[in-house]
């Protein structure tokens, strides 16, 4: 999902964590680039094709999923390759199209981009098991919970009286692959012009984050509302952020349009909105019980960091990311990363540190 770094050795990420704050002051922080992975040539372990996921697995290990090269790499905090796994295949611990990466205990899970299945790896990138869902469509925005159940979004279609509809459902699946419950869904008619259909398709680009206690859903990319559920599907809260959409640059609109044409091909004469998006990505830090909410312009993203109860703890902006490229963020208990999804030169993973603004 869209939300709209030269080879150097990775230094140890200090991973600063803000203290709890009083109601009288809201601190501001910066996610600053301190290092990067990714080269044009020379080091085959960093010559990425298409980065479709990256995350900190532990304080001194990070993982990068390259769906073009069909491999997942595990690096130390000094840039050394510790392990790798080529996942492509139809075997009992392989998948065909690696599209998403999620944390799984001490390891990671690779979710197929086109098929409803995933493979779970341990901290040494050794396959542990494969999970196949009783579905016909693939998942996006996935999170693997501690009990090995899976939360994510899945596209669907249905017949509503005489109207054919398509939509998205946010659900939870058991380790057996059986669907356990549905948290939320929205559907739209399958008629109208190409532009109308594509506009409705964009409305299904939910942002979802989950852990073993909560599931958070931002169902409107043009809005600032977050729905909070417990893992059993009971609505806990509705969080409304105090933001308004601002006008954005023509350059960002051009970059978004180019990205969508390259990814989705047939968008007709659809044009991006003159206003910047609302919520574009949700991330959970489990042990800290913090929800990171990315919002605003794709080229100048900002974050509100909330408690699980919706209290604003602090805000953050970004520094040092490429000026004209779209990135996606990965925030875990162990560190902060961003990776390019529209690289102008070559794909990179940016290592970030959280620094309080003075």
pLDDT score for 11: 33
Q: How much of the chain exceeds pLDDT 70, in percent?
A: 93
Query: pLDDT at position 90, please?
Result: 85
Which pLDDT value is given to residue 17?
53
The pLDDT of residue 105 is 86
Which runs of E-coded beta strand occur in 77-224? 81-86, 98-104, 107-112, 117-121, 127-132, 139-144, 150-160, 163-173, 179-189, 207-210, 214-218
Three-state DSSP class for residue 110: strand
Task: Specify the CATH superfamily of domain 28-356.
Answer: TolB, C-terminal domain (2.120.10.30)
Residues of the chain with pLDDT under 70: 1-24
What local confidence, expressed as pLDDT, does residue 344 receive? 87
Is-contact 64 98, C-beta < 8 A?
no
| pTM for the model | 0.91
Cα separation, 299 vs 249, whole angstroms = 9
- CA dihedral (58, 60, 66, 72) in degrees, to 10, reads -70
Bridge partners, residue 36, by sequence:
350
Alpha-carbon distance of 49 to 230, in angstroms, equals 38
Classify the C-alpha dihedral 134-226-63-66 as positive or negative.
positive
Q: How far apart are CA 200 and CA 87, in angstroms?
A: 34
Question: Which pLDDT belongs to residue 2?
Answer: 42
């Amino acid at each position: 999902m869209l939300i709209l770094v030269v080879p150097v050795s990775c230094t140890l990420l200090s991973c600063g964590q803000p203290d709890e704050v009083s109601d009288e002051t809201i601190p501001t922080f910066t996610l600053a680039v301190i290092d990067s992975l990714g080269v044009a040539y020379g080091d085959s372990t960093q010559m990425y094709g298409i980065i479709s996921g990256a995350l900190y697995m532990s304080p001194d290990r990070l993982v990068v999923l390259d769906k073009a090269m069909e491999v997942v790499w595990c690096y130390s905090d000094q840039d050394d390759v510790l392990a790798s796994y080529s996942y492509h295949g139809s075997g009992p611990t392989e998948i065909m199209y690696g599209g998403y990466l999620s944390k799984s205990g001490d390891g990671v899970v690779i979710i197929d981009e086109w098929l409803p299945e995933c493979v779970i790896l341990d901290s040494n990138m050794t396959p542990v098991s494969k999970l196949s869902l009783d579905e016909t469509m693939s998942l996006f925005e996935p999170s693997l919970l501690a009990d090995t159940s899976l939360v994510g979004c899945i596209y669907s279609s249905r017949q509503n009286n005489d109207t054919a509809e398509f939509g998205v459902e946010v659900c939870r699946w058991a380790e057996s692959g059986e669907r356990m419950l549905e948290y939320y869904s929205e559907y739209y008619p399958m008629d109208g012009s190409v532009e109308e259909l594509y506009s409705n398709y964009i409305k299904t680009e939910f942002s979802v984050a989950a852990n073993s206690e909560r599931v958070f859903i931002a169902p409107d990319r043009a809005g600032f509302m977050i729905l909070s559920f417990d893992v059993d599907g009971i609505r806990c809260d509705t969080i409304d952020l105090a933001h308004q959409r601002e006008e954005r640059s023509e350059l960002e609109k051009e970059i978004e349009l180019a990205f969508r044409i390259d990814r989705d091909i047939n968008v007709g004469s659809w044009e991006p909105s003159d206003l910047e998006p609302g919520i574009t990505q949700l991330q959970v830090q489990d042990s800290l019980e913090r929800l990171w909410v990315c919002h605003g312009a794709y080229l100048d993203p900002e974050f509100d960091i909330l408690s699980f109860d919706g209290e604003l703890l602090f805000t953050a902006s970004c520094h040092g990311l490429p000026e004209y490229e779209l990135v996606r963020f990965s925030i875990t208990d162990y560190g902060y990363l961003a990776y390019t999804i529209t690289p102008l030169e070559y794909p990179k993973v940016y290592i970030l540190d959280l620094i309080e603004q003075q």
